[in-house]
């Protein structure tokens, strides 16, 4: 697990769009932070900046207390899950989950053990031999999460991971994700436009509007008591 600190981070795209406007935000070790706000307010851009997929126009990004500006994505110890699961269609579930371990050069026996551990935590241990097109939407999203966490990242970034699923499945996976990241103790930033998700999952919620961070606090601090 790792800490995150954004200091006055801004992003202005080449067409002049100010996607992120002087955002400062701290995420503690093992904290579950939900970044909440309407579509287009800059949430994904913040995540992409933390992951190193986008460089900020100004401001500093610190990971574990070290400046990460300019550091390539692979060297950040960060894993990211998107709403379109982006699994490799020609690979089995097991091979999809094992792929990052293979890239990192972990040997076969250790790969097999890690993949089965992660798969059993996610309840997909019985479908490791299938291909993505033989899975339900919920199973596919579990595989995508498995592939992200199998390398034991210090920071887990999720961008609307449940928005393509139906509401019953969303509620189920919401609870699973909370349990999973707390069990791993991994620091997490979870992007959503769904207030119910924010309220049920977050240690703290950061509310964004039009590129600006408006409010940060526990669900009770931000929304008051029900």
Count of alpha carbons within 13 angstroms of residue 146, beta-carbon side: 29
Pairing of strands 58-63, 4-12: antiparallel
Which CB, 26 or 95, lies closer to ligand ADP? 95
Residues of span 45-64 touching ligand ADP by CB under 6 A:
45
Binding mask 86-125 for ligand ADP (x = CB under 6 A): ------x-xx--x---x-----x--xx--x----------
Cβ proximity of 154 and 49 under 8 Å: no
Which CB, 42 or 161, lies closer to ligand ADP? 42
Which CB, 108 or 220, lies closer to ligand ADP? 108
Q: What angle do CA 123, 85, 207 make, to 5 degrees?
A: 95
Distances (CA, A) of 126 to 88, 94, 115, 138: 19, 10, 12, 14
Which CB, 1 or 146, lies closer to ligand ADP? 146
Binds ligand ADP by CB under 6 A, chosen from 13, 24, 136, 152: 13
Site for ligand ADP contains 132 (CB under 6 A): no
Distances (CA, A) of 153 to 52, 67, 144: 14, 18, 14
DSSP 69: T
Write out the residues near ligand ADP by the rule CB under 6 A: 13, 15, 17, 19, 37, 39-45, 92, 94-95, 98, 102, 108, 111-112, 115, 128-129
């Amino acid at each position: 697990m790792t800490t995150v600190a954004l200091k006055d981070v801004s992003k202005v795209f080449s067409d002049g769009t100010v996607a992120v406007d002087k955002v400062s935000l701290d995420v503690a070790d093992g904290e579950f932070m939900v970044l909440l706000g309407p579509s287009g307010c800059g949430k994904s851009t913040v995540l992409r900046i933390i992951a190193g997929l986008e460089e900020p126009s100004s401001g500093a990004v610190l990971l574990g207390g070290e400046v990460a500006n300019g550091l390539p994505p692979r060297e950040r110890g960060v894993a990211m899950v998107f709403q379109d699961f982006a699994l490799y269609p020609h690979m089995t579930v097991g091979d999809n989950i094992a792929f990052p371990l293979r890239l990192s050069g972990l040997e076969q026996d250790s790969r097999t053990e890690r993949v089965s551990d992660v798969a059993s935590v996610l309840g997909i241990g019985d479908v490791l031999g299938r291909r993505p097109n033989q899975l339900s939407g919920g199973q596919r999203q579990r595989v995508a999460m498995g592939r992200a966490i199998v390398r034991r990242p210090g920071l887990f970034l999720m961008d609307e991971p449940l928005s393509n699923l139906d509401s019953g499945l969303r509620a189920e996976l919401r609870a699973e994700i909370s349990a999973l990241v707390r069990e791993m103790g991994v620091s997490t930033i979870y992007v959503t436009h769904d207030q119910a998700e924010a309220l049920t999952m977050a240690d703290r919620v950061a509310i964004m509007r039009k590129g600006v961070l408006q409010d940060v606090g526990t669900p009770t601090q931000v929304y008051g008591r029900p």
